[in-house]
Amino acid sequence: MGKLEELEESLYGREDKPTTGRERRQSFFPSPRSTLSTSWNSEKPRLGAVSRMPISKAMATAVLTGLLFVVGAGTFAFLYLGSERREARVTIGGRDSVEGGEIATIPVTFQNISAEALIEADLIITFPPDAFLQDESGRLAPATARVVQRVGTLAPGEEQHREFTVQFFGREGDEKLIAASLAYRPAGLRARFSSEAEKSVAITRVPIAISWDIPEIVAVGQEAPITVRFSSQARTTFDNLWLRMEYPAGFA
């Protein structure tokens, strides 16, 4: 049998005739069981679909209350914490320069510039570490690092003054810093705030001069005479002066 007859037999032969592995047909058409999709939207759910749930009145009220609380807290933080407070104003007057050892009066003025009373107010003054402060009896003593004076309550618009008599010491050209701070609590609030001011006082001249005579060369065990001379051209008298000398190692 030729190849043509074999092909016709495979195409038009009996269906119940068993086929060999070589004569098995390959189906190029889809199986009847497989069905094409009849709708474009049947394969995938629609994107962006959001399930809607009913919102109760209680939930809406809670959300609205939370939003109002957040807005109120943000407003309070901006007005009372984030922005600069302007309930009080502090200024430091007096001279901008002095001579070493000179006594100067430093006035401090503070005022309530708000529409509410400022309660529990304290005035805090910070002096240079080598300054002397005059007390109520007129005696000069080394100033402490911080001087706190009780102010109490400042009514709206009220202004008060304090004066401090200070004696400055230092080298020529030194800048001595004085700081003033008014700590207070606005009426109706629990938080405390403060208003600050600073002033620099320059030492233009030192009226006391010190000189000494010391041998340039000495032997071991030799006594060396040291002569110290000091003079004052100050306008005021210095009381209770003392002189300190520091020797190098090996000297006694």
Look at residue 53 in the predicted model and tell me its pLDDT. Answer: 53
Return the domain boundaries, the chain.
88-205
| CA distance linking residue 8 with residue 4, whole number of Å | 6
Of the chain, the percentage scoring pLDDT greater than 70 comes to: 71
Nearest to 175 by CA among 197, 198, 199, 202: 202
CB 153 within 8 A of CB 119: yes
* Architecture of the domain delimited by 88-205: Sandwich (2.60)
- Rounded (5°) CA angle 133-129-233: 65
Q: Is the pLDDT score of 66 beyond 90?
A: no
Which carries the bigger pLDDT value, residue 30 or residue 97? 97
Taking the mean position of all CA atoms in its chain, how far away is CA 191?
A: 17
Which carries the bigger pLDDT value, residue 170 or residue 247? 170
Q: Which residues contact 219 (CB under 8 A, 6 or more apart)?
A: none
In a 3-state reduction of DSSP, which class is residue 227?
strand
The pair phi, psi for residue 144, each rounded to 5°, is: -75, 165
Tens digits of residue pLDDT in 175-229: 999 999 999 999 989 999 999 999 999 999 888 788 888 888 888 888 888 888 8
Which carries the bigger pLDDT value, residue 8 or residue 43? 8
| CA distance linking residue 233 with residue 46, whole number of Å | 98
| CA distance linking residue 184 with residue 192, whole number of Å | 6
| CA distance linking residue 180 with residue 165, whole number of Å | 15
CB 187 within 8 A of CB 153: no
